Amino acid sequence: MTTTLPTRAQALELYRALLRSARQFSNYNFRNYVARRATDAFRANQTLSDSAARAAAYANGLAELGVARRQGAIDAMYRSERLVVEKTSRPSGYNVYRE
Amino acid sequence: MYGAGGRAVEVGRQAVVGARTGLGLGVRRTAVNMGPSLTARSASSLSLSTLSLLSLPASSCLLRVSLAESSLSSKGIVKEKGKVRGMASVTGAANEGEKKPTRPIYLDAQATTPLDPRVLDAMLPLMTWEYGNPHSRTHQYGWETEAKVEEAREHIATLIGASDSKEIIFTSGATESNNTAIKGVARFYGGSDSTKPRPHVITTQTEHKCVLDSCRVLQAEGAADVTYLPVGTNGLVDLAQLDATLAANPHTVLVSIMAVNNEIGVVQPLAAIGALCRKYKVFFHTDAAQAVGKIAIDVNAMHIDLLSVSGHKLYGPRGVGALFVRRRPRVRLEPLINGGGQERGLRSGTVPAGLVVGFGEAARVAKAEMAYDHARISQLSARLVGGITARLSHVIRNGDPVQTYPGCVNLSFAYVEGESLLMALKDIALSSGSACTSASLEPSYVLRAIGADDETAHSSIRFGIGRFTTVDEIDFVIDRVVDRVTRLREMSPLWEMVQEGIDLKSIEWSQH
């Protein structure tokens, strides 16, 4: 576990990487969840002032990124039919900010 | 050319299926797919090979199939290409212009939940290279697996507030946990000693089938007396009645009341029940399969002595569960499964390390995400109920609207038959109750127990919202449900009468 305090640029880079990793998922629900969870977590942690808590949140985000990258790759290998609510033509260009 | 060849191979395969099952099915199906002009020829050549296949050993099957294929392709299937296409569109097979098949959206989170990607990530090493037996004490493979299993046990203990991870026993699921708890306690404290009075068990009428059935078995064996408490119209147990039952039965050893009902989602007052059980010095077992990871549970604060958990209801793998067995004051029980003495001797058999580690990770994630998930699921639940009731009248919500888990919404649509509504909603994976009762046409015993009449019980649908449900899915469900219920009601003569202001209860139906 790293306890280093992230710079603003590092935090933003992590956020962007999480959103990118979300787009890998072929499963509609997972794809949306990973992006939504990242957005909500970054929004909630925006006002964190305690440096230990900020470092912990950053470390947690890095761990989640590792999981999302690995599982996104696996998920992309085992595709299912599209869900009835899926409108867009699969991952690329999906607007993660919609929800 | 290539396409036709592919078709011929398929015909050959179908013939094999038909031959193996010993039915002429493969041949008949071919006839449908291939069109009339082909039927006679292919049927005769195939039935020949089908007949001979039946009496031949497996090794020569292969040879025969390839013969069948070649004979078909040589008999000019290629020429029939246009016909094959044409027939396919008539029989509804996939064609170029048609829409791609889609999957229904999942809204049955009480039946089971999808595996969280974080859980699969934790499980994969154990499914690939970390395959040691956690009970092996002589090598690294065993040690590393054991360490992971113990870590998982710790996560589950933390999630339910247990003070010691040794109080967690891994089982195959909540059904086994419930069986072990109820039969185990009753048998241990009654036992074969005929001088002891027969133990008494208290449960409710709305419990899961596995709790009710375990109690029935105890009664049939003569091992225990059982009281099935009724519940109020809101689905909650009456504490005064429980108190009176406990006072009237001094030989009570166990009270088993579920935390969250799987059909109507009501949350029982666990802390109050626990306090009552402590007062009468009776063990309190709760089936918390639908509750753990979704609402806050603390076995110490709620005085719970035994608690059943299921892995696959909290985004973990199917096939694993746990039973919390309190150590102080000690709960003793007779194991259902005897053997190598794993899991404190209460559940012998090698612990399925991969499943257990997934379960542990699911518990860790559930603890970390509980507030977030609960807030979001409440929001989606309110949106669903609000969206449906704003556009449809005569919708009844079953179960207490306040003391409830928002992820389980049970609605009755009056004057619509539940099963036909489910059929009309084939783009949504829903059920009319628990998975076991939805197969039969009997109305749910849970809805009966809360005093719902037959019509209401028959017209109920359970919506199970989970961690991965999206706003789009909820909006889709609202639109579909409103549309289909309206259409079904328009067809219903009962609905027409209701619109005309006739009270259906006042009608005397003629007997046939």
Q: For residues B395 and B331, state if they share a domain.
A: no
Residue at B414 is within a domain: yes
pTM: 0.81
Averaged pLDDT for residues A40-64: 93
Domain that holds residue B257: 167-350
Nearest CA in chain A to B428: A84
B483 touches chain A (CB under 8 A): no
Q: Considering chain B, what percentage of its residues have pLDDT values greater than 90?
A: 69
B467 touches chain A (CB under 8 A): yes
B118 touches chain A (CB under 8 A): yes
**Domain tally, chain B:** 3
Residue at B139 is within a domain: no
Residue ending a domain, among B319, B350, B381, is B350
Q: What is the pLDDT of residue B9?
A: 40
Residue at B140 is within a domain: no
Beta carbons of B49 and B13 less than 8 angstroms apart = no
Q: What is the pLDDT of residue B507?
A: 77
Q: What is the pLDDT of residue B320?
A: 98
Q: For residues B328 and B381, state if they share a domain.
A: no
- Disruptive mutation site among A84, A89, A99 for chain B (greatest number of B CBs within 10 Å): A84
Of residues B311 and B77, the one with the higher pLDDT is: B311
Q: For residues B341 and B391, state if they share a domain.
A: no
Cα–Cα distance, B156 to B164 (Å, whole number): 10
List all residues 6 or more positions away from B47 whose beta carbon is below 8 Å from its beta carbon.
B24, B27
- Decide if B117 and A84 are in contact by the 8 Å CB cutoff: no
Averaged pLDDT for residues B167-190: 96
Give the Cα-Cα-Cα angle A57, A60, A63 (nearest 5 degrees).
155
Residue at B160 is within a domain: no
List all residues 6 or more positions away from B411 whose beta carbon is below 8 Å from its beta carbon.
B385, B388, B395, B396, B397, B398, B460, B461, B463
Residue at B155 is within a domain: no
Averaged pLDDT for residues B195-218: 94
pLDDT per position as a tens digit, B361-380: 999 999 999 999 999 999 99
Cα–Cα distance, B62 to B49 (Å, whole number): 11
Chain B residue numbers touching A67 (CB-CB < 8 A): 117-118, 121
Residue at A60 is within a domain: yes
Chain B residue numbers touching A69 (CB-CB < 8 A): none
Place of tokens 């518990």: B363
Residue B433, token pair as written in the block: 């109750």
Q: What is the pLDDT of residue A96?
A: 41
Residue ending a domain, among B69, B103, B137, is B103
Confidence band of A4 (pLDDT split at 50, 70, 90): confident
HEC string of B79-98? HHHHHHHHHHHHCCCCCCCC
CA distance B369 to chain A (A): 10
Beta carbons of B313 and B111 less than 8 angstroms apart = no
- Decide if B118 and A75 are in contact by the 8 Å CB cutoff: no
Give one word for B56, left, alpha or beta, with left for phi > 0 and alpha for psi -120 to 50. beta
Eight-class DSSP state of B142: H
CA distance B109 to chain A (A): 13
Eight-class DSSP state of B169: E
A84 touches chain B (CB under 8 A): yes
- Decide if B103 and A99 are in contact by the 8 Å CB cutoff: no
Q: For residues B320 and B379, state if they share a domain.
A: no
Q: What is the pLDDT of residue B429?
A: 95
**Domain tally, chain A:** 1
List all residues 6 or more positions away from A70 whose beta carbon is below 8 Å from its beta carbon.
B121
Cα–Cα distance, B361 to B300 (Å, whole number): 23
A33 touches chain B (CB under 8 A): yes
Residue B82, token pair as written in the block: 């246009």
| CA-based torsion, B445, B447, B453, B455: positive or negative | negative
Residue ending a domain, among B77, B103, B129, is B103
A13 touches chain B (CB under 8 A): no
Domain that holds residue A43: 8-86
Nearest to B473 among A37, A74, A85 (CB): A85
Q: For residues B343 and B467, state if they share a domain.
A: no
* Strand B428-429, strand B460-464: pairing: unpaired
Eight-class DSSP state of A97: T
Residue at A98 is within a domain: no
Nearest to A67 among B101, B121, B468 (CB): B121
Rg (CA), chain A: 15
Averaged pLDDT for residues A73-89: 87
Residue at B136 is within a domain: no
Cα B161 from chain centroid (whole Å): 26
Residue at A67 is within a domain: yes
Chain B residue numbers touching A81 (CB-CB < 8 A): 100-103
Nearest to A99 among B102, B104, B470 (CB): B470
* Least confidently predicted of A63-67, B31-35, B233-237: B31-35
B438 φ/ψ angles, rounded to the nearest 5 degrees: -70, -15
Residue at A95 is within a domain: no
Q: For residues B224 and B338, state if they share a domain.
A: yes
Task: Give residue B251's identity as a one-letter amino acid code.
Answer: H
B128 touches chain A (CB under 8 A): no
Q: For residues B189 and B332, state if they share a domain.
A: yes
Half-sphere exposure (CA, 13 Å, Cβ side) for A60? Answer: 14
Q: Is the omega angle on the peptide bond into residue B329 within 30 degrees of 0, that is, cis?
A: yes
CA distance A83 to chain B (A): 5
Nearest CA in chain A to B468: A29
Q: Which residues pair with B463 in a beta bridge?
A: B409
Beta carbons of B215 and B223 less than 8 angstroms apart = no
- Decide if B120 and A81 are in contact by the 8 Å CB cutoff: no
pLDDT per position as a tens digit, B267-307: 999 999 999 999 999 999 999 999 999 999 999 999 999 99
What is the domain-level CATH number for residue B492?
3.90.1150.10
- Disruptive mutation site among B369, B468, B473 for chain A (greatest number of A CBs within 10 Å): B468
Residue at B215 is within a domain: yes
B117 touches chain A (CB under 8 A): yes
Nearest to B102 among A30, A83, A99 (CB): A83
pLDDT per position as a tens digit, B457-500: 888 999 999 999 999 999 999 999 999 999 999 998 889 988 88
B472 touches chain A (CB under 8 A): yes
Q: For residues B391 and B461, state if they share a domain.
A: yes
Chain A residue numbers touching B367 (CB-CB < 8 A): none
Averaged pLDDT for residues B160-188: 97
- Decide if B104 and A67 are in contact by the 8 Å CB cutoff: no
Beta carbons of B326 and B305 less than 8 angstroms apart = yes
* Strand-by-strand arrangement of the B306-310 sheet: B168-171, B321-325, B306-310, B283-287, B252-256, B200-204, B225-229
Burial class of residue A95 in the structure, from the number of CB atoms within 10 Å of its CB (0-12 exposed, 13-18 middle, 19+ buried): exposed
CA distance A80 to chain B (A): 8
CA distance B94 to chain A (A): 14
A71 touches chain B (CB under 8 A): yes
Residue B459, token pair as written in the block: 């017209």
Q: Supply the mean pLDDT for chain B.
A: 83
Chain B residue numbers touching A74 (CB-CB < 8 A): 120
Residue B349, token pair as written in the block: 């058999």
The CA-based dihedral angle spanning residues B311, B313, B316, B321, taken in that order and rounded to the nearest 10 degrees: 0
DSSP structure string for B35-93: -HHHHHHHHHHHHHHHHHHHTS-HHHHHHHHHHHHHHHHHTTGGGGHHHHHHHHHHTT-
- Disruptive mutation site among B374, B465, B473, B475 for chain A (greatest number of A CBs within 10 Å): B473
Determine whether B210 is an active site residue.
no
Chain B residue numbers touching A25 (CB-CB < 8 A): 117
* Least confidently predicted of B10-14, B232-236, B401-405: B10-14
CA distance A76 to chain B (A): 12
Q: For residues B226 and B344, state if they share a domain.
A: yes
Residue at B430 is within a domain: yes
Of residues B339 and B97, the one with the higher pLDDT is: B339
Chain A residue numbers touching B467 (CB-CB < 8 A): 33
Confidence band of B39 (pLDDT split at 50, 70, 90): very low
The distance in angstroms from the start CA to the end CA of chain A is 32
- Disruptive mutation site among A69, A80, A82, A83 for chain B (greatest number of B CBs within 10 Å): A83
Residue B21, token pair as written in the block: 């099952």
* Least confidently predicted of B171-185, B202-216, B237-251, B409-423: B409-423
Q: For residues B411 and B476, state if they share a domain.
A: yes
Q: Is the pLDDT of residue A46 over 70?
A: yes
Q: For residues B332 and B376, state if they share a domain.
A: no
B476 touches chain A (CB under 8 A): yes
HEC string of B268-326? CCHHHHHHHHHHCCCEEEEECCCCECCECCCCCCCCCCEEEEEHHHCCCCCCCEEEEEC
- Decide if B100 and A81 are in contact by the 8 Å CB cutoff: yes
Q: For residues B472 and B400, state if they share a domain.
A: yes
